[in-house]
Amino acid sequence: MRKLLTIQKDKTITIPMPLFTALITILISFVTAWGLISAKTALFETKTNRNELDIRILQDNKVSKDQFQLVLQRLDNLEKKIDKLNEERSE
């Protein structure tokens, strides 16, 4: 009678520690990169939404060209007065 050879298979897998460490490092790197990309995308979307809202507000608050010219003239006059005062102080 022939003896049957039986092979017992161990159901455990042994992974060397350096390979395990490398796998964990790569996994952590992927998770970190995903988190950074998600945060950057969320920040970009927030800024875009804020800019769109600012544009809508500015469009609602438009002034006429006459009003704009009036304000511009007043600012120019103020700037000239300030320049004149600065020149007087420096003398």
Q: What is the pLDDT along the chain (91 residues), one digit of tens a residue?
A: 555 555 566 667 777 888 889 999 999 999 999 999 999 999 999 999 999 998 888 888 877 888 889 999 999 999 999 988 888 887 7
Per-residue pLDDT at 60: 81
Model confidence, pTM: 0.46
Instruction: Return the residue matching tokens 């390979």.
Output: 19
Per-residue pLDDT at 38: 94
Domain boundaries, the chain: 28-86
Contacts of 71 (CB under 8 A, 6+ apart): 63
